[in-house]
Structure formats: C-alpha cells, structure tokens
Structure 1
Amino acid sequence: QALTGASPLILFCDDAHELLPEFREAPVRQLEFAPLTADILIAVLQASHSATGRIDEAATRAALPDEGALSQLDMVQLLLALRASTARDVAAQIAQMAQTAKDASSSATGGQSQRSGESAGAITDQIAARISGNSPAHETARRMVADLCAWQAGELDWADCSRSLLLYGAPGTGKTWLARSMGAAADVHFLQASFAEWQAAGPLNTMLGAMVESFDKAIKSAPCVVFIDEIDACGSRLDGSAHNRNYRTQVINGFLEQIDRLMRSEGALLIGACNFPETLDPAILRDGRFDLKCEMPLPDRATIHVLLSRGLGERLAPDELDALSTEATGKTPAELDAAIRAAKSDARHLGLSLDAALLRKHLRIDAVDPKILRRIALHEAGHTLMAQHLAPGSVRKITLTPTGGETQRAALPAALTKVDIEDELATLLAGRAAERLVLGDASNGAGGPQNSDLALATRLALDLETRLGLGGEGLTHTDASVPQLLTDQARRLRVHKHLQKAEARAMEFLKARQADLNALAEELVAKREVSGEEAAKIRIL
C-alpha cells in the first residue's frame, strides 16, 4: 500500500536479509547504522545523565568494556544499564554485562548442540540474572527457559518441555519485558507480533496472511521465543454479538491453526499476553495451546524500593525512599519508570530539586481520604480472611493502593466440585460483605470491569448453572456470552440466588471474626502491603 503512494518510504530492520530481495537492490538506498561505540554512548550519557551536558568522561570511559563487547549489547541490556543513576554506574553495569557474556562458554549458534558446552550452573546463573522476580510468572518463565536450554544440550526430549505460557494482568506490569527476558536468558531469537500488527496489514485475507508469515518465521527461527501480544483483541466465538461474527470466527480459527502448527514443531516457546483471559475463546486457553497460565502481578514493596533506588541513586535519604516505596505500592513498573524520567526531566529543564515531593507529583500520589483507605482495606481483609478459612495457605499477598486493592491468591484447582465453586463465590463476595458489616453499606468496589468481584462471581455462578452440570439446568451444556445467558429470567434469578447465598455466608463468617477483620485492615492501612503469612498470624481471641 505504501508503494502505491508518492510519499518517501523508510524501512527499518535488524538485518537486511529480512527484506524482500527487491528492497535489497537499486534503486533502494541502504544505510547501515554504526554499532554502539564508546563515543556514541558518551554522547547519549551527556544528554541523559546530566542537566549541563557534562559528565566524568574519563572515569566513564575507563569503566567501559572494549568496543567489540559494546557492539554485542542488545537493546534490552542497554536500556537496563541506562536506568543507573550516574554515567559511571551505567558504564559499570555495561562492563558487568559484557563480563557475564564473556564468561559464557558458548554463544547462540542454533540447533540442539548450542548448550552442550555449558555447565548447568552457568546456565542457571544466566537465567537467574536475566529473569529476576519471585512471582509464579517469573518462576514459570525460568523453568521454561531451563527446559529449552536442556533441550538444546540434548538432555531433554522436546515432548517433555513446557512450551507455552499465557501471561495476563493489568497493563504495564511487565509482560513484554518478561517475554524478552526469556529470549535473552536462553540466548535465542526473540520474535514479537500482535493482533494489532496483523490487523493493520489490511482486510481479512491479508491479515491472516500476516499471521501465517509471523508463525512461518518463528518455525524457521527455532530455537526461539515467540511473543504474541494483545491476544484478547481476537475476542471469542461465544460472543453473542452478531457484529463481525464471521470475521471474528475466521480470525480465531486461523490463530488456533497457527498455534497448532507451532506446537507440532520443535524449539519454539510460545508466550501470549492479554489483560482479560476470561474474554478469550475457550479453545485458545485449552491445554496443548497455552498449557500454562500465570498472572503478571504488580511489584511488591521491596521491588518498588529497588526500582526507585536504581532510578534515583542516592538522591533520596533512606527514610524518604522507604516512605515513597510504601506510598507507591500498587504502581506498575511502567508507571514508576515514567515518573522517574519525568521527574528527572523537570529537574534538568526547570532547575527543580529531584526530591520526594517531585516524585510524588509524577507518581500521582495525593493525600488519600482516610475513610476511603479504610474501606478499601476492610474490603481486601474480608477476601483474605474468607480465603484463609476456606483454603488455608492460598493467600499470597494483599496490596492496598489509593484507588483500590488486590488480594493475590493461588489459582483454583482444575477439578472443581459444587462445594469448591460455592466456596469461591463466598470468597469473591467477602470483600463487599466486609464493607457492609463494618460500615453499614457497600461501595462500588466489588463491581466494574471484567475482572471485578461481581463479574467473576457472576461468570462462575453461570458456569455452575449452564456449563458444568452442577446447577438447576442439570446435564445440559449451554455455551454463550454472559449477557446472552442472562436474558433468560429464570436463569438470571438462579444466578442471583447463588450470589445472595454466597454473600450471606461471607457475612455470617466475618461477624464471628470482626475483631480480626478490623486488625488486618489497620495493618493494611499502615503497611499498604501484607504477605499471606503475615495475615495468617493476625488472630484476636
């Protein structure tokens, strides 16, 4: 399409061989960017790490590795190093990365023999260095990369490897970063695509062709990590809307076919990302396509402290950094990074002091109404106490933010009985019940988006009735969207009764634990983050 117009056309690529042959010949002019050198890096640091354009150039150059090592840095490594607070620290981090690469006994050459010369310890250290974090998502990523490395070394059959992972969660939590880190940790090709990219290619046939091309490239590039972003953009064939139904069905069918192709080949890890997995077509989620599903959590207070410390250096006193880390609980890595960059920009261009007040401004941390904060804390405490009672040890972390809260729990087991489902309904509605019990009424905190308490509870109660053979409709299986299923008034009434019963059950339980409820809420208000282990110890007799 671009070629049919008269406008100048500029193409960017990592390797000229990625282009069609026609674009590698005259009259197309080719310009090759120079690899990273010390001079280029110094010029960047003068702009990024100094308000005056002056840095300790001699010390920075002395700390840098040779230019051969510099030219081998990838963009992720460079961006990570540039997060250091001073130019000299950037150089030191780059030197450390170069030394780590030098110590590795082999580099990516493709095929299973690549890892045969590396010790298990060296591979484990490289994986841990690239993929830090203690959430289930990070641990799963490390295991998948370890399996891929073992397969490359000929120590593991591909059939025994975990090959696909769906990462879901709020925007900005680092799903793309984790996928990229997996590619870097395994030292293999990283390929990225998205539904937005495919759809931008043009009408349906062109869009499907772009999708096939991405998967063709992935199969040819193995060993590799393939990252597909915005998977929820494809929707579901169960969506009751007639609008674009034929288009949506063909897109999903095409996507399923390409996943199956990739799963039949060897050497490619498939990583998908979305915000709301419950909106995906069930066929996408089934085992054999995305075997593993992990929520990408918000960073905990300790991680926020590390991110702020790395970005700010020693500009804040330890007590200020501690306080800011607590106040920033609930922020995503993307929000923290953007705030640090904006604060540094203000400090450079407006002559302001880079202090906690300026960071609070860009993090949008305002004084919070204590009443609202307590309501949010009571809501999360209600979820926590109910979950601990019905599934001891399932609560991992409770987080309180100025605009909401989050209770992280272990995933539900694959096999659920009616009792299990009723327990989950009670846990989902315990937050609302806690508000009503202590404050006399409930807020809108349980409702709203597709991952809200009420949305999840409604979907689960509907599944009990229509899909799982455990409700009033007996063994009949009905698969449709939530709005479509709720048009039946008798079914709607049965779902409402399930939810009413669950909330009443939660209310009765919390009445007997009201002192514990208040104590946990107070702890949350004070700390903004409480681990599941800490919460389990709160028991007022």
Structure 2
Amino acid sequence: MSFIKKNISVTKSVRDYALFCTFKHALRRHPVFASGRAGLVLLNAPEGYLPKDYGNAVVAELYPDDDFRRADAGFMYIGVKDKPDKAKGDYEDDCQNKKRAVIVVEHGAVVPPEVILGADIIVDILPISARDFRAACHVVLGMKVSDEEANRILQYPHDHVWAALRRGRPVSDVIRRLSEVVIQQDVSAPKRPERDVPPLSVMHGYGDAKEWGVNLARDISDWQNGRITWDDIDRGIVLSGPPGVGKSIFAKAVAKECDVKLIATSLGRWQARGHLGDLLRAMRADFAAAKDAAPAILFIDEIDSVGDREKFTHDNKDYSVQVVNGFLECLDGLDGREGVVVIAATNNIARIDPAVLRAGRLDRHVKIPLPDGQARLAILHQHIEGIILIDVLAPLRAATVGMTGADLAKVARDARRLARREKRALTVDDLRAALPEVVRIDGEYRRSIAVHEAGHTVVGNELKHGTYLGTQIVDQVVMNGADQQGGAAYFDMPRVCRRDRYFYHGQITIMLAGLAAEEVILGSTGDGAGSGSNSDLAMATRLATLIETMFGMGASFRHSSATSDEELEKLRAGDRELAFRVDCKLASQFVRAKEILESNRSLLDAVTDALVESGTITPKQYEELARQHQMRQVGQVGGVNDFKTDAYKDGTSLKQDSLSGAA
C-alpha cells in the first residue's frame, strides 16, 4: 500500500487505477526502469485508447513525491494527428536528455526515427483486463467483482462503465443499468451502418486514376480467367495530390471494382511495432498477407514517409537507408509479387526515393486533381445518396470551388444534420447553408484583378510566348480559406523546343507582368502576386534561381540538384552572391515588362476595360484590340519590337494567373 499513499491521483477513479495497472504491466518489460532507475520507454497504446488516458499513471510513475521541478524526468504523447516534426521537437524538449522518460503513442501514429532510436524498449500496453478491472474496483470502491462479472461489464462501452460504477452500488445493479441503457439506445436510435464505398466505375473526380483502376479490374479478370499473364498487369501505382482528394477512398473503390481484398497499411503502422527489426518484420508481414490473399491490393498511405536515401540526415541515415532497402526488397519479392497490386499515396512525389519509382516497382504515377465543377456536383450528389437531382444542385457549383471530396462529404454531413434537427427531408437550402460564404468581386477590386491579368495578357502576346488561348477573371470567390484564382491568362506552348536563357527570361518577364501592370495603371502593387507557392513571385523566384544553379545559364556552370522551394531558399540564404544575382534578374525582367506595357499603354487599358466589362477575352477579341492599338501607333516604332525573338517558344504549358487576393 506504500504506492497508494504516495500516489493518490490514480486511486480516485476505477478508470485511472485500471489504466495504471495495464501501464505497470507494460513497464515490467524493462526491469531497470520499473525499479526506479534510468531509462526511456516507448509504450504503444492499444487501439481505441488515447495516450492522454495514461496521464495520471505516467505522472504517478515519474513523480511519486509530486516534486516536478527536482525530478529529472519527462514524458510526451504522440497522436495520429501529430506531424513527425512536432513529435521530434517535443521529444528533444521533453525526453531526450532526461534521466527517466516515458513516451505514449496512439495506435497508428507515425513515430519519428529519432524517437525509435532513443527508446531503450518499445512495449505494447494491453487493454484493460478482467484482473485489472477487479483490482481497481477493490482498491477504489472496496467492491468485490468476480472474473465472470468483470468480463461481462467490460463488454460495454468503457465510458458507460466508469459512469455506472459508484461506491456502495452492487455489481448486479451496475450490470443492470448498463444493459438497460444499451437496450434503450438500440430501440430508440438504431445504429445506421456506415456508408459503403461504391465501385470505382461509378465514382467521380479521379480523372486518369479512374481510367487506370477500371482497366486494372478488366486485367485482373482476364488474368484470373487465364487470358493474360501477370506480366501484362501494372504492378503498382503512386497517387499524388493534395490532402482530401480521396486517395484512401480510391484504393477502397479500386478493390471493390476488382472484387479483391484490400490490405491498408503505412510506415507509421510499421514503426509502431518497435525497433528496426520489428518494423521490417511488420512490413514483410503485410506484403506476405497480400500475397496469401492474392489477387489483392496492398494500399500504402503516405509513402513519402519512407523517404529518399539521398536526402537523409547523417544522424539517422543508416536506420532510414535500411528502411528504404527493406521496402525495395518487398516490392521486388524473392519469388515475385504475382497477384498483388500496390497502390501508394503521397502528398509530395518529390520526397520518394527514385528507386521506388523504377520500372517494375511503382513505375506509374497519376496525380489526382481537385475535382472540376461537374465532378464536384456529382460527388455531392453521391454523398447525399441521390435524394436531390443533380440538375437541382447546379446553383451550388460556384460555392464549391476549390473543394476536395472530403470537403464535400463534410458539407453533406452538415446539411443532413440541419435537416435532422428540423425533422424533415434534406433540401438544397440545407446544402447551401452548409457551404462557405460566396463573396462577389466588383468595383475597384474587380478592376485591380483585371489590370493584373491584362498585364500578363499583353506581355505574353507581345513576346509571342506560345499560343494565346484567352483570359478571364472571376465574378466571385468562396470564403473557405483555400487558394483561389482571381483570374488567369492562358498560353499554350509546344511540348518540345529549345530553351535557352532568352526563353527563361521571357517566362520571368511574363510572370512579373501582372505586377508591372499594377504599377503602370494603379501606381502601386498589391499582395496577391505573392500568395502561395504557385503565385507569380514564387514561380519567378524559383525559375530565376534554377537559371543560376541548375541550367548553366548564370554566373557559373556549377550544377545543383536542389529543386524544391525549401532547398532553393537555403541556397539563397547561404550564398549572398546568388541571392543578389536572383534579385537583379527579377528586377531587370520587371523593368522589361513595365517598358513593354508603357509602350502599349492604350492596349493595356483596352484589355483591362474589356475584362472589367465581360470578365473574359478570347484570342479573336484580343486581335481586334491589338489591331486598333496598332492603327493608333501607325508611324511610331513599337516598344515591343525591341524584344522580338524566335527564342520565345516554350515546351510546356504556361498559365499566368493571380490569386483571388491579387491586385
């Protein structure tokens, strides 16, 4: 009883004492730590339990005398929603240099390699057993409970169990109360089964990925019927795209379409099993399970967590390299991978080791885009189970701009909740109420966007940088926090051409033309051209840096493999001369764009007025405006002639646009 006297916190409730019992059972796997000496233990909470559930148990273990300041001890929790960088930072602050430390991890959470390497032991905490429950009832309530009664009580939701237990209340009364509540809930509010994911062929918004999945289903059927060999089937695919576009749901829909078993996993689940050897065993076990169930689909979420061997830091390089090598071995398989298709998902394809994407492994990459207007309506129609005709949903198209499939699912849930509260059928008004606010763009703000896009339009055409397709600005924006375009000027270029310094300088000039137009007409620039990684300034800065560091078109021929914005920013921050050259390049091309626009001021004004008036300009309309401008310039040397060159032919598609905040 010495423990009970020192640690009153865990004896205040049956719940806390029962959890403490399971916690102490797990610590016995590390006898040195359990005896009160130094150590760092990582404990995996069972599925359905939260790390913070063990808070009182952790505090009772680490601070038995309630002296938090003097004790050289620390603890932390890692949840499924915690980013690896956050977990790493918490570990360094709270546990890494402590004499005694405890880390509790939620089931399915991603544990950074630094934490895995630092732990002396990794142990699974077991769920509350009948023995733990009986001990807790005895210590906290003075209640005697048999094994049979304990097992029966623990079948009920644990939150109900803790609420039903009170000092002096007989066990039979506790069981009666629990059963009556469950019966009442079953009668009054029957649980509705979860909505099943439909086959891929009837889903919307997946673009090329849908075509791949439907074709895969045909191929697997042909393979099962002996018409083709497994060599004729795609072994795997990597899906990339922003969060919420439905990569996980896609895997379920493909499995449904193919009528095969789906096995879902991730590096986080493998890491949760323990040290490197445990991780690799868990990885191989999932591949083996998929092969045993063949034909089957193995879905690996957040595949970029496996990493790229060329980008690992020195401290954890050996550990991480072995993880990648183990994954490659599983992909190859000593006796093949017949019957197993691997679908991997990532938000960032650039973080994946190139060897993973090599032919014969995950050699096909498909990007899942944000759904377009028609797809958004179809997805919403599917989430409301078709009870409102899709044509009736058409007015909601504008309010759903920029939404993912997950966003639309939330809209449907919120709308159903509104209808339930008023005890009536779902209506379009419920969906409209669940959508974010739509704000109309007009007045001076509309004109500022028109000025910006007119700048891209005029400079792009004067430099003859590809084939002009048209320009448009939006009439309204959705206040949902997502990056949205206020307008765009579209140019189409040949896929293959020679690209030299003049070509790339021309691209930068067009990118900065929106800002230049603002300064020419409005006298100052707005902040929209710098909003987001795909903004005008971000793209121009990125390209100017690559010219200097990768393309061999700068002050030296030195090559750098840095391509991401983060890597390029580090290069500029560490090299003042490089940063200065990039600044000069941007400044000179801004001046160039401004000179072109000043030489074509009447055309710039005309394009701006047309955009304000109608919101769009077609190539034919632009030709007419340019013809009228040329007629006014007869007898004068056009400023644009100074910039004519055959080098301005691109090999990729170029779109110059501004976000909704652009001016």
TM bucket (normalised to shorter chain) is: 0.5 to 0.7
- Mapping of residues 307-346 of structure 1, within 5 Å: 307-312=379-384, 321-346=393-418
The structural deviation recorded for 1:299 is 1.6
* Residue identity opposite 1:342 in structure 2: D
| CA distance in 1 between partners of 2:484 and 2:528 (Å) | 9
Tell me whether 1:184 sits opposite 2:256 in the alignment: yes
Counterpart in the other structure of 1:211: 283
Counterpart in the other structure of 1:490: 577
Counterpart in the other structure of 1:58: none
Change (3 A) 1:169 1:398: farther
Check conservation: 2:515, 2:529, Cα contact below 8 A. yes
Change (3 A) 1:390 1:223: farther
Check conservation: 2:237, 2:343, Cα contact below 8 A. yes
Tell me whether 1:227 sits opposite 2:310 in the alignment: no
The structural deviation recorded for 1:185 is 2.0
Bigger Rg, structure 1 or 2: 2
The structural deviation recorded for 1:506 is 6.5
- Mapping of residues 51-450 of structure 1, within 5 Å: 78-80=196-198, 129-130=201-202, 132-133=204-205, 135-156=207-228, 158-237=230-309, 239=311, 244-261=316-333, 265-285=337-357, 288-312=360-384, 321-349=393-421, 355-356=427-428, 358-367=430-439, 370=442, 390=465, 392=467, 401-402=477-478, 403-405=482-484, 417-418=499-500, 441-447=524-530
The structural deviation recorded for 1:309 is 3.8
| CA distance in 2 between partners of 1:354 and 1:133 (Å) | 24
C-alpha deviations, 1:79-133, integer Å up to 9, x for none?
A: 55xxxxxxxxxxxxxxxxxxxxxxxxxxxxxxxxxxxxxxxxxxxxx87x34544
Change (3 A) 1:195 1:412: farther
Change (3 A) 1:397 1:438: closer
| CA distance in 2 between partners of 1:441 and 1:286 (Å) | 49
RMSD: 5.2
Q: Percent identity?
A: 31
| CA distance in 2 between partners of 1:153 and 1:385 (Å) | 60
- Mapping of residues 449-488 of structure 1, within 5 Å: 454-455=537-538, 458-469=541-552, 471-474=554-557, 476-478=559-561, 481-486=567-572, 487-488=574-575
Q: SS in structure 1 opposite 2:127?
A: coil
* Residue identity opposite 2:557 in structure 1: G
- Mapping of residues 489-528 of structure 1, within 5 Å: 489-497=576-584, 499-500=586-587, 514=604, 515=606
* Residue identity opposite 1:265 in structure 2: R
The structural deviation recorded for 1:483 is 3.8
The structural deviation recorded for 1:139 is 3.1
| CA distance in 2 between partners of 1:328 and 1:180 (Å) | 25
Q: SS in structure 1 opposite 2:397?
A: helix
Change (3 A) 1:316 1:227: closer
Could you list the runs of 5+ residues in structure 2 that have no partner in the other structure? 1-43, 47-122, 131-150, 156-185, 625-663
| CA distance in 1 between partners of 2:425 and 2:405 (Å) | 23
| CA distance in 2 between partners of 1:394 and 1:261 (Å) | 49
C-alpha deviations, 1:237-263, integer Å up to 9, x for none?
A: 555866755544444444444444499
Change (3 A) 1:162 1:367: same
Counterpart in the other structure of 1:7: 127
Q: SS in structure 2 opposite 1:367?
A: strand
Count of matched residue positions in the alignment of Structure 1 and Structure 2: 433
C-alpha deviations, 1:59-86, integer Å up to 9, x for none?
A: xxxxxxxxxxxxxxx977x355xxxxxx
| CA distance in 2 between partners of 1:309 and 1:364 (Å) | 18
The structural deviation recorded for 1:338 is 0.8
| CA distance in 2 between partners of 1:409 and 1:286 (Å) | 33
Could you list the runs of 5+ residues in structure 1 that have no partner in the other structure? 11-27, 32-42, 50-73, 81-125, 526-533
TM-score, normalised with respect to structure 1: 0.61
Change (3 A) 1:235 1:161: same
Q: SS in structure 2 opposite 1:193?
A: strand
Check conservation: 1:387, 1:427, Cα contact below 8 A. yes
Change (3 A) 1:275 1:300: same
C-alpha deviations, 1:262-307, integer Å up to 9, x for none?
A: 9953343332222233344455455554433332112221122233
Change (3 A) 1:290 1:315: closer
Q: SS in structure 1 opposite 2:437?
A: coil
* Residue identity opposite 2:403 in structure 1: K
| CA distance in 1 between partners of 2:615 and 2:335 (Å) | 44
Change (3 A) 1:449 1:322: same
Counterpart in the other structure of 1:63: none
Q: SS in structure 1 opposite 2:371?
A: coil
The structural deviation recorded for 1:495 is 4.0
C-alpha deviations, 1:493-535, integer Å up to 9, x for none?
A: 344455556666776778867455775687669xxxxxxxx97
TM-score, normalised with respect to structure 2: 0.51
Q: SS in structure 1 opposite 2:580?
A: helix
* Residue identity opposite 1:213 in structure 2: A
| CA distance in 1 between partners of 2:353 and 2:493 (Å) | 20
| CA distance in 2 between partners of 1:44 and 1:426 (Å) | 69
C-alpha deviations, 1:446-474, integer Å up to 9, x for none?
A: 44655655555555554444445555442
C-alpha deviations, 1:124-181, integer Å up to 9, x for none?
A: xx87x34544723333444444444444444445445443332222211122222222
Change (3 A) 1:521 1:171: farther
Check conservation: 2:197, 2:249, Cα contact below 8 A. no
Q: SS in structure 2 opposite 1:217?
A: helix
The structural deviation recorded for 1:427 is 6.6
